[in-house]
Amino acid sequence: MAEEKADDAIVSMEDVLQEHEALEDEANAVLGASDDKECTYAQGYAKRQALYACTTCTNETGNVAGICLACSLHCHDGHDLVELYTKRDFCCDCGNSKFPKFTCKLIPEKDDMNPKNRYNDNFKGLYCTCKRPYPDPEKEEDDEMIQCIVCEDWLHSMHLNSSVPDCDDYHEMICGSCMEKHSFLYAYLSPARLKIDGDETGLASPAKRAKIEGEENCKLAQFRSALGEKGDLLKGPGFFDDDWRSSLCNCSSCRDLLKQEDLAFLLDEEDTTSFYEACGKLQNRDGSSVEAGMQAVQTKFNPVQQIEMFSHYNELKGKLSNYLKDFAEQNKVVTKEDVELFFEKLKESKKGKIAAQIPPGTCK
């Protein structure tokens, strides 16, 4: 019986460690490639970065503006911030003319405007075609939200006017409005996505079609020709597989088309959020915390200690959640230093031994 409990404890600890790694990956994905000490303004229009909107500063003026991670921490501490995840080709607005009574503490001298910046309702804390905040205080349960890679708005799955594949079955989404605006992109959908009134076209995938037809001609022209009149009937959002960008035609005419339609970024392999997230994970993680934690659990502790340690971990997790709750209520961004301070105070307390007993890799 005791052995059965020990096995359950090991499985439970693995679940906890995997949950920790998932949260760690999520944090590294969004913030890992961003600098929390230096304003990104000096970089100009950064290819992709984590951004925030400060409604404390902009609500009075009605302006929309975006600030980098460092400015959210050093210039807007204690303000009401909207987390925008990441945006492409954006230059930090902190302290420019959009903030008439405010000067950036990190780089005081900035141009009045960043004319190439693009803004949408996300900068006002509103999302989707329904223009609602996230999380929505009027809804008990939040619907899944998916970001369009073109307009970069976040849309509720229920408002996409289309069935949504499982998250493992597609890599990127382009909303119906953007697909209608750039209708030639329908030609790059995989055969599973090319459904018209419940009927599939039966076409081969873009990559396979290109290989069959040869690389010397315009792939887009080949795809359009294969679609024929059915291509005019396609509508709604596009759900694209992970290799779809590699199938984009790179001939001079198509490069010009992408440039004219302001979609040249689709040819840049470093544009994707997955590339940005991978950079963040590589920059911040040195091996798997699950593997390290499980190795420590199974080799350094007996079954009774494992059960006790699992209990201690849950207790620690509760204390950390309460500590972070204050940041959430005050709309403050949590920094690495804040988390380190929590553990320093914990070690100084009488219960500091609990933290010391947790194996390496379970909490950082």
268-283 pLDDT per residue, tens? 988 998 888 877 777 6
Q: Distance (Å, rounded) from C-alpha 96 to C-alpha 113?
A: 6
Across 199-225, average pLDDT:
62
- Tell me what pLDDT residue 17 has: 56
> What local confidence, expressed as pLDDT, does residue 71 receive?
97
CA distance 178 to 103: 36
pLDDT, mean of residues 29-42: 80
Percent of the chain's residues with pLDDT above 70? 64
What is the Cα–Cα distance from 199 to 114, expressed in whole angstroms? 47
Of the candidates 144, 163, 162, the residue with the CA atom closest to the CA atom of residue 154: 144
Indicate the pLDDT class of residue 227, thresholds 50, 70 and 90.
confident
Q: What is the separation of C-alpha 317 from the centre of its chain, rounded to a whole number of angstroms?
A: 24
Tens-place pLDDT, residues 94-143: 999 999 989 999 999 999 999 999 999 999 999 999 999 988 888 877 67
Distances (CA, A) of 96 to 60, 93, 155: 15, 6, 30
Q: In 3-state terms, what secondary structure has residue 270?
A: coil
- Does the pLDDT of residue 332 top 60, yes or no? yes
Question: Which residue in the block uniquely carries the two structure tokens 């920094």?
Answer: 335
360 pLDDT tier (thresholds 50, 70, 90): very low
- Whether the per-residue pLDDT at 1 is higher than 50: the answer is no
User: Does residue 27 surpass a pLDDT of 70?
Assistant: no
Residue 334 binned pLDDT confidence (cut-offs 50, 70, 90): low
Indicate whether 312 pLDDT > 90. no
Please state, as a whole number, how many other Cβ atoms lie within 10 Å of the Cβ of residue 196.
14
Question: How far is residue 112's CA from residue 109's CA, in Å, rounded to a whole number?
Answer: 9
Residues of the chain with pLDDT > 90, as a percent, come to 43
pLDDT of residue 333: 66
Class of residue 359 by CB neighbours under 10 A (exposed 0-12, middle 13-18, buried 19+): buried
Highest mean pLDDT among 157-171, 191-205, 345-359: 157-171
pTM of the full structure: 0.69
* Closest C-alpha to 148, from 85, 55, 63: 85
- Mean pLDDT for the chain overall: 77
Tell me: pLDDT of 196 over 90: no
Give the pLDDT score at 351.
38
DSSP state of 155: E
In the chain, DSSP finds a helix count (H) and a strand count (E) of 12, 9
Lowest mean per-residue pLDDT among 12-16, 64-68, 178-182, 314-318:
12-16
What's the pLDDT band for 353 if we cut at 50, 70, 90? very low
Q: What is the arithmetic mean of pLDDT over 41-56?
A: 94
| Whether 158 contacts 143, CB under 8 Å | yes
Helical H runs in the chain? 2-31, 55-58, 69-74, 176-181, 206-213, 219-227, 252-260, 273-284, 289-300, 303-329, 336-348, 352-357
Q: What is residue 100's three-state secondary structure?
A: coil
Q: How many CA atoms lie within 13 A of 88 on its CB side?
A: 21
d(CA 234, CA 196): 6
What's residue 141's pLDDT? 77
For residue 245, the model assigns a pLDDT of: 94
Q: Is 173 helix (H, G, I), strand (E, B) or coil?
A: strand
pLDDT of residue 284: 58
Torsion-angle region of residue 215: left (phi > 0), alpha (psi -120 to 50) or beta?
alpha
Residue 148 has pLDDT above 90, yes or no: yes
Phi/psi of residue 55, each to 5°? -75, -20
- The C-alpha angle with vertex 179 and arms to 176 and 181, in degrees rounded to 5, equals 110
18 vs 22, 96, 115, 283, 323, CA distance in Å? 6, 43, 43, 20, 22
Residue 258 has pLDDT above 70, yes or no: yes
Question: Of the given ranges (143-147, 153-157, 192-196), which has the lowest mean pLDDT?
Answer: 192-196
Judge contact between 85 and 127, C-beta under 8 A: no
Give me 73's structure tokens: 């921490």
